[in-house]
Structures are given as structure tokens and as C-alpha cells.
Amino acid sequence: MIKRTLWQGLIAGAVGGVVMTVGEKLEQAVTGRPGSHVPARVLQRLTGTAEHAGKQPSPVNWAMHFGQAALLGVLRSVMAHAGLRGPVASAQFAVVRLTNDQILENATGVGAPPSTWPRKELVVDVLHKAVYAYVTGAVADALAARGGAGPGQRHAAERPGRRADVGPLRRRDTYGR
């Protein structure tokens, strides 16, 4: 299960990253907003590599942008395999995606807390990250569904609704074995 969750998550996250990037590029063409060099700056700080003033090297920017998207996709795949699927799970994952960005950007001194951003910039960032989260979620959910219901879904099917009188799945039934 671990190998399957890993490769499916990398695929889901990469697809989400591509769709988010296409959306960003379309939005930038319409609004005239410049591309961000924050991903490259964060990666340079995290790896201790030389930093550059002004425009950052595209390969470094793309490495962080897509690397982060793919790696976080693994978490969404874990969610899907556990039975956390659908739009609510993707909304939960959107918060994780935004939080991950802010931790890395603020811990490295590259970014500032979103509460200090201009509102328009904040809305654009949240929108693009939500697109990533929902696309990644849809792919992760579809891939995980090929293996059937997750443990959480099987537990919920025991008796619909959250009920105190329904205990956990038997250990041997947790992973469908």
C-alpha cells in the first residue's frame, strides 16, 4: 500500500501542479501580474545555495514549484487511501497546501504572513492553491478508488452517521484483508 500511495500521490500532485500553473499563466496574461520568484528563493535558502538578486533562475523556480506540488500530493493520496475523499477532503488539503507554503516562506525569511499582503494578492494565491488542491484531490481520489473503499469509508458504511455505539473496524478488515 505504501508504494501505491506514494506513486499515486506523486502523479496526483504533479497533475495538480500543472493545472495550477496553467491557471496562473492564464491569470497573469489577463491581469499583467508578474510571475513569482518566491519558490526559487525558498529553495535557495533551504538548500544553502547561492542566492540571486532580481529574477531567479527558472530551473530552480520550477524545481521548487513542481517538487512541492508532487510531494504534497503524497499526503493527499494518503488521505484518499484512508477514505478521506471528495470535495471536503480537498478543502482540508487546500488548507494544508497554503500552510505548507507559508511555513517555508516565513521560516526562510522569504515571505511575510498573508495577513500583511494586499487583499487582491491574497485572493489570487488562495484561488490558485485551491485549484491545485481540488485537482490533486480528484486525481488522488480516482486512483485510490481503484482499490475500493478506504478504511474510513468502510467504517462509515457499518452504520450511516456518526454513532457512539459503532466501534472501530476489526483490525483485519482495516485494509481489506
SS3 call for 78: helix
All 3 cell numbers of residue 131?
Answer: 485549484
Residue whose C-alpha cell is 478504511 = 151
**Predicted model pTM:** 0.88
What is the residue-wise DSSP string for 118-170?
A: -HHHHHHHHHHHHHHHHHHHHHHHHHHHTT---HHHHHHHHSSS--TT--PPP
Buried/exposed 1-15: b ≥16 CB within 10 Å, e otherwise: eeeebeebbbbbbbb
Q: What is the pLDDT along the chain (177 residues), one digit of tens a residue?
A: 789 999 999 999 999 999 999 999 999 999 999 999 999 999 999 999 998 888 888 999 999 999 999 999 999 999 999 989 999 999 999 999 999 999 999 999 999 999 999 999 999 999 999 999 999 999 999 999 998 777 777 767 776 666 677 666 667 666 654
Beta strands in 27-124 (DSSP E): none
